[in-house]
Structure 1
Amino acid sequence: MIIVPVKEGENIEKALKKFKRKFEKTGVVKELRARQQYDKPSVIKRLKMEHAIYVQKLRAAED
């Protein structure tokens, strides 16, 4: 259960934004979408490798 403490006089939009950020960090929606279809382990491994290469290129471009 996600708890977002709201201070007195705090804007409701700000509290909602905090809630959304916390909810997204838990990864519930991402996991739910991943479970909707079966992906072969080889496909998952390939996607992870592609993502790692992409991140590595971004970091190299930063330097």
Structure 2
Amino acid sequence: MKMKTPTLDALELRQQVWDCAGISGKDRRSRVLAKIDQSVSGYTVERKVGGVATLRRIKVTKTK
């Protein structure tokens, strides 16, 4: 049976994600998030003070 799944537009970057990626340390995570902001088009990083960062897809609207 084919079931529709909702589109994923955000991903919380929790400790488990960082561990699986092999990225340890607060400073290293900060540098990775900065590089994502600079070089990955279509995505942005939302940072929370003392909390979990969220990788969010930017919705692009077509204009004529």
Q: So what's the TM-score if we normalise by structure 1?
A: 0.37
User: Going by fraction, where is strand more abundant, 1 or 2?
Assistant: 2
Larger-gyration structure (1/2): 1
Q: So what's the TM-score if we normalise by structure 2?
A: 0.37
